[in-house]
Amino acid sequence: MKRSSLACVVSGLACLLALMASPAAAQALADEVPVEVWVIQATKKNAEISPELKNIAGALKDQFKFTGYKLVRKASDSVAVGKAFKTDLTAGYRAEVTPREKPTDSAKLSIVVFKKDDKKLNTTVTVQKGKFQLLGGWKIDGDDALIVAVTAR
């Protein structure tokens, strides 16, 4: 077989394999759930609120009795139902968020928060689409507190 013919055969096989694999790959991606975790530092030292928190500032003020809310970081990833998204928070805290089912109008999430090896929270919540579940109030940096905002789409 000529070299150019062999290259055509190999190229054709590669295309065929890609076409056969793409429905499975597309299904795997469709089964993944985008999870987002926001790390928030709450304080009574000031009344500043990070601009990114504007849409949830009212809920933060209603649920937690602080005056200032600073977005420390955001973390996100897409994970399969039943698989944990693990992320470091701040001040030695970390979280594991596990989608329990594929979200429709709401998402059922298991959330575990640790401080080093000490489990601080282990709960399952249902979060409405486009909303955040706010959790926390754990002390960090003096009298400041850690708040975690979690959502899935």
Same domain, yes or no, for 133 and 81? yes
The C-alpha atoms of residue 8 and residue 77 are separated, in whole angstroms, by 38
**Bridge partners for 36 per DSSP:** 76, 151
pTM over 0.85: no
Domain count, the chain: 2
Are residue 56 and residue 41 in the same domain, yes or no? yes
In a shared domain, residues 26 and 85: no
Q: Within this chain, do residues 26 and 61 fall inside the same structural domain, yes or no?
A: no
End-to-end CA distance of the chain: 52
Q: What is the pLDDT of residues 55-96, one digit of tens each?
A: 999 999 999 999 999 999 999 999 999 999 999 999 999 999
What digits encode the pLDDT tens for the residues 4-24?
Answer: 555 544 455 454 445 455 444
Same domain, 24 and 42: no
74 lies in which domain range?
A: 32-152
Do 67 and 36 form a contact (C-beta atoms < 8 A)? no
Number of neighbouring beta carbons within 10 Å of residue 125: 15
Residue 104 and residue 126 share a domain: yes
